[in-house]
Amino acid sequence: MSKPKHIHILGICGTFMGGIAAIAKQSGYRVTGCDANVYPPMSTQLEAQGIELIEGWGAEQLDLKPDVFVIGNVVSRGNPLMEEILNRNLPYASGPQWLADTLLRDKWVLGVAGTHGKTTTTSMLAWILEHAGLNPGFLIGGVPQNFGISARMGGLPSPASGRGDGGEGTQFFVIEADEYDTAFFDKRSKFVHYHPRTAVLNNLEFDHADIFPDLGAIETQFHHLVRTVPGNGLVVCNGREESLARVIQRGCWSPVENFGSNDGWNIDANEQVSFNGKVQGKLQWDLMGEHNRMNALAALAAARHAGVPVAQGLAALSEFKNVKRRMEVRGTVNGITVYDDFAHHPTAIDTTVAGLRRKVGKARILAVLEPRSNTMKLGVMKDALPGSLKDADLTFCYAGNLGWDARGALAPLGDKAVVKDDLNELIETIAAAAQSGDQILVMSNGGFGGIHEKLLKRLQ
């Protein structure tokens, strides 16, 4: 018996590369990997799957002699292991390229792109296909609670499913299609590698100021994605976004279904979903916010393209559990509820706070913010922050290690905003202000120093 092919992943502890590791292992590869910081939860997840982890970037890892080195986008020139791979002319590929060429080649790929809502919409879509018996593979930048894992290879649809319209043996793979760049040697967006047959364009705003100079540059990358969708494919497009209209106007060679507008998919105030003016059924679930209603329309449209009737899609969404860190309740102490949310762009902050406001009515919302993403750290979006927090009663901002003046940026909120440079001081200030009935909404795309547990402990 021939020994399994071996890949060694540089930067394996990121969500995306860890997902590639998991599905490569499930596909029969020997998988090893390294990263600067090898620690839970990703390290324990990977080790539980029999993936050998190495801390650091030592050149001695070349002795593993893998068939190919798979390079994550945390790796840059000057990395000692990467320099030695280049010096010796050893085979290497980016994560997205390797994934697309090796594991996705013969799959019906459904790719979900957009500035906001990618993880949630990808999770909804994967769950609809799963609920319909299509047994999809998926790679998601978060942990969908319906599955409890962020990546799996999937397999053939169950015989009872009646399968999708791709014919016998169609295997579906749902992927969060990120516009971030691929690797130090490939500055195209990751999503250009995936060649989806079904492409969701959820929304498009300026973000990733560390790699894109302006919105036009991101629109160009989105058009690169549109160029890869085949004629028998489908582009599912947010009909409310001028930026996406410009992308489609550059040229599109596939059918387009819009959502959120009268021509195409829509949802009314009574949660009735319609397509081209015909009512399809009712969306019944517990998720908050207009953004999630739009995510649902996108997922229903994409699933329908894969052969899932809308009624079946709606039934699946009634059982959908949101992704971890999306308005996730972390605990309630003395009548005070603490939520964790991934929101980090002003638009996402705005929709998240507005969604909570609709849920809790007149109860006080205490928004707690860590401007941690690369875009936020650069201060590009700081002027939009006060407006995005308008629905909160009080705002608490952690300004540790920020390169811009958070106090000045939030000054329009007056005494409704408190800025602290010390995390413990911030926690004390929040605890002192909190009253029974308050909703504390913590927003960050990082761990935020374990603030949720510390705050719950302090509130006791």
Would you state the pLDDT for residue 344?
74
The C-alpha atoms of residue 203 and residue 117 are separated, in whole angstroms, by 8
The sign of the torsion formed by the CA atoms of 131, 135, 141, 147 equals positive
As a whole number of angstroms, the distance between CA 316 and CA 124 comes to: 9
Tens-digit pLDDT profile for residues 89-140 = 999 999 999 999 999 999 999 999 988 888 999 999 999 999 999 999 999 9
Per-residue confidence (pLDDT) for residue 322, from 0 to 100? 77
Secondary structure of residue 86 in the 3-state scheme? helix
Asked if 54 and 30 count as a contact pair (C-beta separation under 8 A), the reply is no
The angle at the Cα of 325, spanning 436 to 76, to the nearest 5 degrees, equals 140
Sorted by where each starts, the structural domains of the chain and their CATH numbers stand as 6-95 (3.40.50.720), 104-317 (3.40.1190.10), 328-459 (3.90.190.20)
Q: Is 357 in contact with 154 (CB distance < 8 Å)?
A: no
Full-model pTM: 0.77
Which pLDDT score is estimated for 156?
87
Per-residue pLDDT at 232: 96
CB 400 within 8 A of CB 422: yes
Question: Please, what is the average pLDDT of the chain?
Answer: 90
| pLDDT tens-digit series, residues 297-325 | 999 999 999 999 999 999 999 999 877 67
Residues with pLDDT less than 50, the chain: none
Beta strands in 313-437 (DSSP E): 328-333, 336-341, 365-369, 394-398, 417-420
Q: Letter for the amino acid at 185?
A: F
Terminal-residue alpha carbon distance, the chain = 60
Cβ atoms of residues 204 and 222 within 8 Å: yes
